[in-house]
Amino acid sequence: MGPIEGLLYGLSIALTFQHVVAALAGALIGTIMGLVPGIGPVTGAAILLPLTYVFDPLTGMIIIAGMFYGIMYGGSTTSILLNIPGDSGAVVSAFEGYPLSRQGRAGPALGITAIASFVGGTGSVLVVTMVAAPVAKAAIVFGSAEYFALTLGGLIVLSRLMGGSLAGSFIPLGLGLFCGVIGEDLITGASRFSGGISEVAQGVSVVALAVGLFGLAEITRLIIGDEPLPRVGSLKWKQLIPSKNDTRNSVGSWGRGGIIGFLLGLLPGPSISLATFISYKIESVFGRDRGKFGKGAVSGLAGPEAANNAASTSSMIPLLSLGLPFSATLAVLLVAMQVHGIQPGPGLVDSRPDLFWGLLASLIIGNLMLLLLNINMIRVWVAFLKVPNWILLPTVITLCFAGVYSFRNSWFDLFVASALGIVGFFFVRYGYQLVPILLGALLGPEVEKHMRQGLMSADGDISYFVTSPIAAGIWSVVVVIVVGVPITQHFLKKRKRIVGISAASS
Amino acid sequence: MSNAVQKDIPSYPNSKKQNVVAVGNNHLPVISLLTIVLAGGAIISIRSNYPFGTLDAPGPGFYPLFVSIFLVVCGIIGLIEWATARNRHDKTISYEFSLNKISFPVFIILIALLGPVVYFAGFLISTIPAAMITAVLVRKKITVMTIVSMIVMPIIIFIAFDVLLGIPLP
């Protein structure tokens, strides 16, 4: 099935009444969750995950896809209205969006954001549709050596790019890999580190991990961190739909932002924030209203918003084609797929074409729903922002525990979520990254499977993992990034210090 | 503490000094040592419980042993990084945010207990008081409205999961 036939097939599945309602519900719930101040897309997606259990896999995935976009849009809304970015990708939106909102132009700012998200996201989905299936087909030739290199190498690169010291990068990864070891051995069926307890032998639930590390830890930080919780002031605007002038100023920025976002979204690490910052810089040079930058330039909002959604969508190529999530949000998306028994990767397009194409088509529908929803409901979102935190935060905590328990009806999951909520809180407090823990636990079993299968097929020859050209290429890239990044940082720091000293002496 | 040293410690504009508590002076050696102890315990457990196998037929203990050794190495690197830090500022804890002295112990205990209590005591019995405590911590006061809202909200979630979604809660 070619990309066009695949997309049409996907649309025929995704455009049924049930799936359209699912996309609408996902976008609606996602936007509401994204509007909760301080909760980003990862936390929001982790908390909302349990709501999809009762649906069939495709409907569940369509809801999750709608939520995915909805949460991001909600994050941008708080960025524009409150100057509180919902996530790192929405930081740039505040630079121009908040001044616009202070000028009483919150309506057009949110309208431009909604259209930019639609343009960037939909354009990116169309390219993903063309690229994802061929990449997945090419990856069918991959053996254990290539998969081992991709999964372990990917984890190492991602942990290193997240920042921090060497130990700070790899301790969370090691802990995640260790979480993945607990439970039944995939090959022999032996129960590991379970103490003979059947619930523990089932392994650490990915839902408990995601909700504990991102949901509970973040709520804990919001409640006991000594920072004032965000509040909403009164907001007014004269019109909701962007003016002709606003649209003229945005069109080029949408295109530029979309292309930058798509390309950068393919890279591992913080590619979404990087894409929005680069897009903002580019707009400050090429934007039609570049003279207004910092005071509410429409192009400075439109470009980064398009880049944000385009990058989020293109980052799905490695997830759908290779089964590798390159960001925290995608890791939660992978958890959602696994909850529904779907393992993305090269086999998905052939084994479950309905899911593969249905999901891609649903991304377009999710984007469209979001556009329609947000143009019409901006006033509702602003009203929602006024719900007090003392109602929202206890509700989110209650939802977290209800969701964790309902996944497997296991007491062990509740214990794990509680424990990881506290561990995650302290890790965040000390500046450690949580994403490597989740990714390590998610992909650890894959690393083990390919490691052991590779060793068995190569009769114990360790060189098997580096002799194939693809595996050797992947490991070379890993070494270049892991060694190259600290060396570059060291020289940049040194240069900065020299410049600082010479500036001080002159 | 000398003025020179005080200057090295980052300040937090939102912190109310009287309410801020420090968890410890140094996180890196603590986390590194905990990692080494955890991984060391895992290695002992693996050696006695799970066969390592051979390179051409790895057993269930093969991969966990590698992960544990990796963790031990990371822990040792953490200790070396701390020991070789150039000045006191590098060795001093750098908080991402500060803590509220009252909410901190209460909420940590609440989260630690909530998971087990939800299972053993039941969803509503555990989440209603937990929601009330959380609301009071956020709102800094208790009102009839808080109490009523925090009784109604868990009941709505319980009914939504149990009746609407068909997912039984304990």
Tens-digit pLDDT profile for residues A145-204: 988 988 898 888 888 877 677 888 899 999 999 999 998 887 888 888 888 888 888 888
pLDDT beyond 90 at A58 = no
The residue with greater pLDDT, A118 or A33, is A118
Residue A329 pLDDT: 73
Terminal-to-terminal C-alpha distance of chain A: 67
Mean pLDDT, residues A224-236 taken together: 55
DSSP label at residue A298: S
State phi, psi for B115 to the nearest 5 degrees: -55, -60
CA distance A151 to A154: 5
Paired tokens of A362: 């649903």
Cβ distance B170 to A405 under 8 Å?
Answer: yes
CA distance A93 to A99: 10
Mean pLDDT, residues A336-344 taken together: 80
Of B15, B27, B130, the CB nearest to A226: B15
Which CA distances in Å does A123 have to A368, B42, B55?
12, 49, 48
Shortest Cα distance, chain B CAs vs residue A186, angstroms:
9
For residue B63, the chain A residues in CB contact (below 8 A) are 181, 447-448, 451-452
pLDDT beyond 90 at B68 = yes
Q: Do A167 and B78 touch (CB under 8 A)?
A: yes
Q: Do A431 and B62 touch (CB under 8 A)?
A: no
The residue with greater pLDDT, A335 or A501, is A335
For residue A185, the chain B residues in CB contact (below 8 A) are 60
CA distance B125 to B111: 15
Q: Do A451 and B19 touch (CB under 8 A)?
A: no
Residue burial A200-234, b: 16+ Cβ < 10 Å; e: rest = bbbbbbbbbbbbbbbbbbbbbbbbbbbbeeeebee
Identify which of A1, A2, A25 has the alpha carbon closest to the alpha carbon of residue A362.
A25
Of B96, B157, B169, the CB nearest to A428: B96
DSSP label at residue A191: E
pTM of the model: 0.75
pLDDT beyond 60 at A295 = yes
pLDDT beyond 70 at B137 = yes
Q: Do A174 and B32 touch (CB under 8 A)?
A: no
Of B20, B100, B118, the CB nearest to A414: B118
Average pLDDT taken over every residue of chain A = 81
pLDDT tens for each residue of B36-59: 888 888 888 888 888 888 888 898
Residue A269 pLDDT: 60
Residue burial A241-279, b: 16+ Cβ < 10 Å; e: rest = ebeeebbebbebbbbbbbbbbbbbbbbbbbbbbbbbbbb
The residue with greater pLDDT, B44 or A484, is B44
> Which chain A residue shows the shortest CA-CA distance from B134?
A394
> Which chain A residue shows the shortest CA-CA distance from B140?
A390
Residue B19 pLDDT: 38
Average pLDDT taken over every residue of chain B = 76
CA distance A361 to A345: 18
pLDDT beyond 80 at A453 = yes
Q: Do B115 and A425 touch (CB under 8 A)?
A: no
Binned at pLDDT 50, 70 and 90, residue A506 comes out as low
CA distance B59 to A187: 9
pLDDT beyond 50 at A91 = yes
Coil, strand or helix at A190: coil
pLDDT beyond 70 at A59 = yes
For residue A37, the chain B residues in CB contact (below 8 A) are none
pLDDT beyond 50 at B21 = no
Identify which of B6, B15, B1 has the alpha carbon closest to the alpha carbon of residue B95.
B15
CA distance A194 to A189: 12
Shortest Cα distance, chain A CAs vs residue B6, angstroms:
19
The enclosing H or E element of A192 equals strand A191-192
Q: Do A226 and B74 touch (CB under 8 A)?
A: no
∠ CA A262-A265-A268, rounded to 5° = 155
The residue with greater pLDDT, A82 or A295, is A295
Looking at chain B, the number of H-run helices and the number of E-run strands are 7, 0
Whole-number percent of chain B with pLDDT over 70? 74
Of B78, B107, B114, the CB nearest to A171: B78
For residue A168, the chain B residues in CB contact (below 8 A) are 28, 78
Disruptive mutation site among B37, B45, B67 for chain A (greatest number of A CBs within 10 Å):
B67
**Number of Cα atoms under 13 Å in the Cβ half of residue A175:** 28
For residue A401, the chain B residues in CB contact (below 8 A) are 114-115, 118, 123, 127
Disruptive mutation site among A207, A390, A411 for chain B (greatest number of B CBs within 10 Å):
A390
Q: Do B68 and A456 touch (CB under 8 A)?
A: no
> Which chain B residue shows the shortest CA-CA distance from A168?
B78
